[in-house]
Structure formats: C-alpha cells, structure tokens
Structure 1
Amino acid sequence: MVRLVLVLGDQLTPSIAALRHADKAQDLVVMAEVATEARYVLHHPKKIALILAAMRKFAGRLRAEGWQVAYTKLNDPQNTGSIPAELLRRASQTGARRAVATRPGEWRLIEALETVPLDLEMLEDDRFLASHADFDRWAEGRKQLRMDYFYREMRRRTGLLMEGDRPAGGKWNFDRENRKPARDDLFLPAPLRFDPDEPVAEVLDLVETRFGKNFGRLHPFGLATDAPQAEAALAHFIETGLPAFGDYQDAMLAGRPFLYHSLISTYLNIGLLDPLDVCRRVEADWKAGRVPLNAAEGFIRQIIGWREFVRGIYFREGPGYTRRNALGHDRDLPALYWGAETGMVCLREAVSQTRDEAYAHHIQRLMVTGNFALLAGIDPAQVHEWYLAVYADAFEWVEAPNTLGMSQFADGGLFASKPYISSGNYIDRMSDYCGACRYSVKSKVGDDACPFNLLYWHFLSRHRDRLEGNPRMAQMYRTWDRMDARKRVAILEDARLFLDRMSRGETV
C-alpha cells in the first residue's frame, strides 16, 4: 500500500532520512507551500521566495529521478493551509494510512505533526554530525554547556584540522587572530549572484503579491535556489573570500554588508549543501596552502561547533526554551528594528542591511542589534521573533539558542558564561560606523553620549545582584565602583531618559 513521504522546505536533500527509507516504486512524496509556515512570523520576502523556489526545483529534481511527487503550491485552490492538513488531504486521495517524515527543526511543527491521525514515523535528521543522543551524552552531568568543549569533541570525531590527536597549529581556535577591523580600501569580493530563472520569477511574482508588505525588500533577488547554484556559491567563496575571512570575520563597514563572509548558512540550513562536505573542502584548501589556518579554523568552527551545538541545546531544552526570560526584560521592541529612523549609525546600518538582504553577519547580530536589545531590556520573546522573521537562514533550532541564550542571556547562563554586552568602544574598534553617528562614542554622559555607553552601565547597575558574582564580570563592577558618584548618577539618569524617549516612540 502507498505510504506518504513528507519533505519540508528546509529538507531539500536527496539523501534525507525520509527519502532513504521510502520506496520510489510505490510511495508518494508530499511537499506543500502552506500559509501557516509562511505566516507564523512575518518572514522576510526574500526568505519566503528562496524557500518556495528551492522547494519547487527540488520537487522537479525528485520527479526527474523517478519519484512520484504530490506538490501543492501556495495559490492552489485546493490548498488546506497547513502541513498536517495537506498530509491528510493526500491520505484521503490515495487511501494511505502510513506516512514517514524527517523530524522537523521546530518544536511547533513537531507537535503539530504528532496530532495527525496517521501511522506517522518521524526519523531523526541525520544530516547533522551529532545526533540528539550524542549531544545528550556529552551534556549529561555538566552544570554549564560551553561550545568550546563540544567543538573539541567534534574536531576529534571528524578529524578536521587535526594532526594525530592534537589540533593543527597547536591551538583549538585562533580567535585572537580573527579580530582585525576592516579598512575601507580593502578589496572586498562580491558574493556570487544568480539571475532569476522562470521558476524563480514565478515565485517572486507570487511573493510580491502575497507578502509584499512584510518587512524586507524582495528585489533584487540573487540567491541560489538549487544545489548546483549553492555549490557554485560555495566554490566562489572558497576562492575569493575564505583566505581573508579569518582576519576580518568580526569587522563591519558601512555600506559593505558582506565583506569576506560566505552567505552559505541559508543553503546549509535548507539542505542544498552538506555541512561535512563543506568543511572537508575548506580543510583541503588549507592543506593545499591556499587558505591560512586561522581562516579555515574560524569557518569550520561555525559549522561543526556553533551550528551543531545550538541544535543540541534547542532539542535538549525542549519547547519551553523560547519562553525563557531570566533577566525579566519586558520593554517592547522599538520601531527602529523595523526601519524607523534612528541617529545610531550602527543600528541603522545593521537594520537597513537586514531589510535589503535578509542577512547580517554574526557580529552585527550579536554586538549591534542583539547587544542593544539586551542593554535596553527588550522582551527576549520579541527579539527572538524578530530574528526568526528577518533572516533568510533563521530556523528556530538554530536561531532560538543563538538569540535567547547567547545574545539575550535569557536562559540565565546555560549557554553563555556571561552576557555578551559592550559599550560603544567595541563597535568603534570593529567598524567605521561611529565617525558619522549623531552620537559621540567618546562621550560617556550627556545628550550626545553614545547610547551603548549609557545603557552598558545601566544594565550592569540594574542586574548587579545577579551578575556581580560572575568572575568574568568582576572587573566591570570594580570599574563602575571606582567611578565618581555624581558621574554614576548622571549616567543612570541619562540612560533612563533615553529609554523613556525610545519607549514613547521618539526618534533616538
């Protein structure tokens, strides 16, 4: 009897578990573009277009390989609007009683599928290097979960950048070499872009009609939408961007959104690229002498370290993780995150780039938009929803721990050993944003003082009871205590006035 084989929009891999366990001769692949997935947050139009176009091309590939595919387009009059309902509709049409799926990457969809009245088998997504059981074994008994130690285990397991049982170059990471500020006279490679073909153009018209009012610009659209294009984008990055990636991976330049970054996280996350293969290719270029070790290591760490680690956190902690708010922050996300005018150049650059490209690199996310939200006491649930909505690579398994754990410290330190906060000095050191800003990064108090300077001390003051015992925070509190008492009062008052203006919707 026919069995249904569910393939989701971030599972566009021919060797995905559900397809490996299916019978091409008699099983029916079910793929569907549905309103619930497109609208559960206000996704960036580029993100929606990318996923729909890639789904359609993947369905075409499966058909060419001999699979029977039942595909529902978003504007199909028969579309029932949700993944579970589409499964049931196809079951009714075919008489199928059984279905197989690869476990989704969001608890929301896992729970929805568990209610489907079919004999549904959910298989683990083994495109990842660490299974849920692997991560749980590593995490068991640890009071705190730190990526660095997990990453070392992943290096040993894969053999990547290893010389026997020791890390290549004698160090596990080269972060100290990867913090150079970029100069505006550097040669910066452009990411590979792809002109929309007929299937993509059709999707762009649909997205423009249905989601054109969402935050974000749909055009120009040049993202890869199939595996050959994603492979070409990877090869282009390895040749042109990777050699300098390590040195400048934390740098920021106004009007230069990509620098030496790869832009392949989206392609990894929807299944167009294989993570281990990507890392092997980067390692091969290091071995061939075309890429320095600090660049290869920094890039590989993002994939087998951070990417695998945050997925382990997400599934280990369960559906309630996204509701955590250890610091009790409750301020609403300000309009500047949706493009409202601001005098802060760093935030204006990060948000406008996000609007245009559905992309910002990790330091822009962590130390600009994330840092500001944490210092200002923004509700972490609203911050989480914003990140999930506006970035093309954002799926909850990867986005939620990065946002709630690393960026917002909402899990109380499970993920990060201390809050990732900084004054304006860090942004000034790593970018060219501050020179044209309405505020002065050198001013620590007053109307012209950089808001990051004011909010940094305001954050430390209001969370002193929780944080002053943290060994990594002790020096910050000693600096605060040595400050003139009148200056401390002035800083806290100026920070309060700034936050009040922001909460009233005034331009800040």
Structure 2
Amino acid sequence: MVSRLILVLGDQLSEDLSALREAGQDDVVVMAEVGDEASYVPHHPKKIAFLFAAMRKFAARLREDGRNVAYTSLDDEENTGSITGELLRRAEEHGASEVIATEPGEWRLIEALNDCPLKVTQLSDDRFIASHSEFDTWADGRKELRMEWFYRDMRRKTGLLMDGEEPAGGKWNFDHDNRKPAPDAVEFGGPMQFTPDEVVGEVLDLVERRFGNNFGDLRPFWFATDQGQARRALAHFIRGALPKFGDYQDAMLAKDSFLYHGVLSLYLNAGLLSPMEICRAAEEAYEKGDAPINAVEGFIRQIIGWREYMRGIYFREGPDYADRNELGHTRSLPGFYWGDETRMACISHTVAQTKSEAYAHHIQRLMVTGNFALLAGISPQEVQHWYMSVYADAYEWVMSANVIGMSQFADGGVVGSKPYVSSGNYIDKMSDYCGDCAYSVKTKVGEGACPFNLLYWAFMERHRERFEGNPRMAQMYATWDRMDEDKRARILDEAETFLNRMAQGAPV
C-alpha cells in the first residue's frame, strides 16, 4: 500500500517539479489523458497530440528512473474522463488518501482539486521566477502595474544581462531597435522539426480518431515531444535565428510562418524547457559575441518580463479576470476566425497559418487578429476562447492577461495604459500582407477602403468618452477632429455597414 499519490499534469513535464521532489519511494505518480482536459475548449489537434505524446514519454522516463507511475491513456476503458476522477480511481486502487500536486496554471483546475474528496496539497509551482507573493509585493501600492518596472526587478533577481547593478549595454530595453519591417529574405530555415516516432505515431492516430473535426491540421506533425528534442530545438534557434530575432521579431510575411522565431513557447509552457535554461542560452550567445544585445535583451524580456508578468496578473486579479468586459463588447466572433472566407489578406494569412501550425507570433496575435477583434467590438470572452482553442502554447494563465488585458483592453487598463489598436498602416509597414489584399490599405473611405481604417476611427469615436483624456491618444483624436464632418460621418456609416455585413455572415 502507498501513502500518497503524486499528480503530474500535462503542462508540468519537468523532472524538478515541486510535487515530484516531495515524492517518496512508495508514492505513485498519477498522469492521465482525460476528456475534460482535452475538450474544455476545442483544442487544436496538434496541441492535443503534442501534450499526449510528451506526457507518455515523460511517464516512460519517470519509470526508467524508478518511479511508480500510474498512467491513463485516453482510450483506456476505465478512464473516468477527469483529473479528479482519475485521482479517486487510483486512490482506491492503491489505498491512498492523500494527493501531492503542484499548483495548476488555471483557476478551473485549482478549484477542482480544492473540491476533490481526497486530501490534496497544492505546492507552489517554483518553475516560475516570481512567486505569487513576490509579484503581489511588487504590485502592492502601485497606481500602475507596468511590465517594464517588473521586468527590471526580474533582471536584478536573476542577474541576466547585468553588469553589476547596471544593465548590460547601458540600457534596460532595446525595443526601439526591434521594430524593423519584414525583410526581403529570411536566412533562417525555421524551427527544428522532428519526424514522428512510434509513440508519436500512435498518438497521432488516436487524436485523428477522436479530435479529427477540431479546427486545425494534425499532420504534418513536427513538434519536439521530449526534453532532449526540445533542447535541440533551443540550440537550433540560438545558433540560427537569435542573431536577427530582435530586428525582425515584429515582422510578418505571407509565405514564411516563422521568420526568426523558434516556436519554443509550447515547450516552455509544458515544462520541457525551463525559463532560466532558455535565457542562459541566449545570454551566453551574447557574451560570446554570437548575438547582439538588442536580440538577446528582446528575447529574454519576453520570458522573464512578459511571461512572468502575465502569470502574476492572472493570479493577482483572481478567477473572474477572464470574464471582464470593461468596453462592453458583445459582437460574435466571425466565422473567418475559424477558416471561413474573408477578403482581408492579413486575417486570411494569419488564420491559415494558425490552422496549419497551431502557431502565430505575438504581433500576428496582437495587431492582426486581436486588433481586428477589438476594433470590431467582439466579445473578449469569445476572443479568448478562440486563442485558447487554436494555439499549442495556450493556457489560461498566459492567455487571460494577454487577451483580456493586453489585446482587448477588457480589464480596463490593468495591463495596458491604452488599447492596442491601429489602422491598416501598421500592418502594411510590418508585413507584405497588404500587397495581395482585395482592400486598399491606402484607401481611407469609399470603395475598397481597408476595414482596419474604417473600424479604427469608429472604435475611437465609440469610446471617445473613455479615451480622449488619455495623453497617448490625444493626437489621434485631434486628427479625427480635424477631418471634414461629412468625411467623419461617411467613415462611421461605412464602418457600421461593414460590421452589419459581417454579422450577417456575408463575405467581408
């Protein structure tokens, strides 16, 4: 008989997981592929396959290390379909009454474990750099919770890119150097790709049978599915892409899904890579002279800055954070987010890439799909549901602050000091999408006008009372006010016509 069960979730595939560190020789590690987790949103098939394959390989590794692992596959006839159900089944099977778990990254699962009839101890997830209490201590008493100030504290704590008490290169932030438009050619061949082995092949067949109707292409499948492969993918990125990552991190190309991005976030968020492991590899490249400071600083900021900050906001703001809708947006998400026809080339390219790869980089998410949703007044909950459904790196702890806060301004300004909205000009500057679009990005009103141009001004007018006093938006309101009154009326009328056609399901 055993004394305890040790729960390991699908995004906790780290050997130094706090729950595993507490495990004794007689304890049983419980891992399970369950319907509740595979279907609480209609996940991209690639994400499901990635996690199931990585879980199976992680369980095998634990067994090789002498751990007693009780693993439930999705097609196990005795599978109860939920994490708590599997805990109860394994507790009865092994005579256990206590569970040791590492705190999940979603309130939904935290509350499920709190309600479990067994005694469940949830340990801190110390794979992150900032604990909940540390983030709260930083945030307490501040009028604005701006990421930049938190990021600097994380630099000091970790020592990353620090020269004593001062930042390497003399500045904390080199973002000004990281805004180059799309290059004529990309010298990086893309993220390292892996041929499915027998374990992955079995999972692909299972996912195809059970989730074949979900949005997204399951095959070809090339993700890393164990720690060794993930580390090879990291080394491949550091060597081949990091030197130019900073320059072109915001750029977009219709025929290149990755540019200089490494697609490492899914490995990081599942636990196959650790944040400090990734950051130290980037820092080493800078110290050896293999990558410039703007690239390395920008990359590290995404991990110990934005990623840690987003988690801190999610847990500080509480379980209702994902339900916020400060701007009162209620339109339904249009079908073209799920692959229906649209004449907007930027949306079409981004959604097609998402369907194929379960991936889009931060500017495609923020300034294309997110920007359009915000301008169009789409329900932020429907927007978050979509992001949770279609991306392989998506978990609520990281998506909520990114979508509800940064992308949709639905938290009223907790994350951002102003909404991230733009007309078509930004997309035109940073991509080649506009060249083959049915709309003209240079046309502001009338036949063929870019919808982003129309909806931008409609958004500004719709929320004028809230934003006209914002000093970062004053110039745009002044530009709007200088327009001829008839032109303003025509823009608002054409924006409304566009939104009505979209709501009726007509191709737009």
TM over 0.5: yes
Contact 2:190-2:261 at 8 Å conserved across structures: no
Distance in 2 (alpha carbons) for counterparts of 1:411 and 1:440:
33
Residue 368 of structure 1 aligns with which residue?
A: 368
Secondary structure at the counterpart of residue 99 of structure 2: strand
Letter in 2 for 1:6: L
Secondary structure at the counterpart of residue 101 of structure 1: strand
Cα deviations by residue, 1:252-304 (Å, 9 ceiling, x for unpaired): 00021100001000000000001111101110110100000000000000000
Residue 387 of structure 1 aligns with which residue?
A: 387
Letter in 2 for 1:327: L
Residue 143 of structure 2 aligns with which residue?
A: 143
Residue 470 of structure 1 aligns with which residue?
A: 470
Secondary structure at the counterpart of residue 319 of structure 1: coil
Equivalent runs, 1:20-59 vs 2, <5 Å: 20-23=21-24, 25-59=25-59
Distance in 1 (alpha carbons) for counterparts of 2:188 and 2:100:
46
Distance in 2 (alpha carbons) for counterparts of 1:404 and 1:261:
24
Residue 89 of structure 1 aligns with which residue?
A: 89
Contact 2:190-2:262 at 8 Å conserved across structures: no
Distance in 1 (alpha carbons) for counterparts of 2:413 and 2:358:
29
Letter in 2 for 1:12: L
Equivalent runs, 1:154-233 vs 2, <5 Å: 154-233=154-233
Contact 2:44-2:391 at 8 Å conserved across structures: yes
Contact 1:447-1:494 at 8 Å conserved across structures: no
Distance in 2 (alpha carbons) for counterparts of 1:143 and 1:255:
43
2:440 aligned with 1:440: yes
Letter in 1 for 2:17: I
Secondary structure at the counterpart of residue 6 of structure 2: strand
1:163 is displaced (CA, Å) by 1.2
Cα deviations by residue, 1:300-355 (Å, 9 ceiling, x for unpaired): 00000000000000000111000000000000000000001111100001000000
Residue 238 of structure 1 aligns with which residue?
A: 238
Residue 116 of structure 1 aligns with which residue?
A: 116
1:191 is displaced (CA, Å) by 1.2
Residue 417 of structure 1 aligns with which residue?
A: 417
1:94 is displaced (CA, Å) by 1.1
Residue 7 of structure 1 aligns with which residue?
A: 8
Residue 18 of structure 1 aligns with which residue?
A: 19
Unaligned runs of 5+ in 2: none
Q: TM-score, with normalisation over the residues of structure 2?
A: 0.99
Distance in 1 (alpha carbons) for counterparts of 2:296 and 2:185:
24
Cα deviations by residue, 1:12-51 (Å, 9 ceiling, x for unpaired): 001100000110x200000000000000000000000000
Contact 1:97-1:118 at 8 Å conserved across structures: yes
Secondary structure at the counterpart of residue 218 of structure 1: coil
Distance in 2 (alpha carbons) for counterparts of 1:336 and 1:147:
33
1:184 is displaced (CA, Å) by 3.2
Secondary structure at the counterpart of residue 120 of structure 2: strand
Distance in 2 (alpha carbons) for counterparts of 1:234 and 1:56:
21
2:356 aligned with 1:356: yes
Contact 1:84-1:113 at 8 Å conserved across structures: yes
Cα deviations by residue, 1:47-76 (Å, 9 ceiling, x for unpaired): 000000000000000000000000000000
Q: Number of residues paired by the alignment?
A: 507
1:403 is displaced (CA, Å) by 0.5
Contact 1:359-1:392 at 8 Å conserved across structures: yes
Distance in 2 (alpha carbons) for counterparts of 1:166 and 1:94:
55
2:70 aligned with 1:70: yes
Distance in 2 (alpha carbons) for counterparts of 1:388 and 1:72:
24
Secondary structure at the counterpart of residue 196 of structure 1: coil
Distance in 2 (alpha carbons) for counterparts of 1:186 and 1:35:
41
1:187 is displaced (CA, Å) by 2.1
Equivalent runs, 1:474-493 vs 2, <5 Å: 474-493=474-493
Cα deviations by residue, 1:123-173 (Å, 9 ceiling, x for unpaired): 010000000000000000112211000001001111111111111111111
Letter in 2 for 1:19: L
Secondary structure at the counterpart of residue 216 of structure 1: coil
Secondary structure at the counterpart of residue 307 of structure 1: helix
Letter in 2 for 1:21: E
1:188 is displaced (CA, Å) by 3.1
Distance in 2 (alpha carbons) for counterparts of 1:343 and 1:208:
31
Secondary structure at the counterpart of residue 77 of structure 1: coil
Contact 1:17-1:102 at 8 Å conserved across structures: yes
Contact 1:184-1:253 at 8 Å conserved across structures: no
Letter in 1 for 2:146: R
Residue 310 of structure 1 aligns with which residue?
A: 310
Secondary structure at the counterpart of residue 70 of structure 1: strand
1:446 is displaced (CA, Å) by 1.1
1:2 is displaced (CA, Å) by 2.1
Residue 495 of structure 1 aligns with which residue?
A: 495
Contact 1:249-1:261 at 8 Å conserved across structures: yes
Structural RMSD (CA): 0.7
Distance in 2 (alpha carbons) for counterparts of 1:440 and 1:178:
27
Letter in 2 for 1:45: P
Runs of 4+ in 1 over 4 A off after TM superposition: none
Letter in 1 for 2:340: A
Letter in 1 for 2:77: P
Residue 402 of structure 2 aligns with which residue?
A: 402
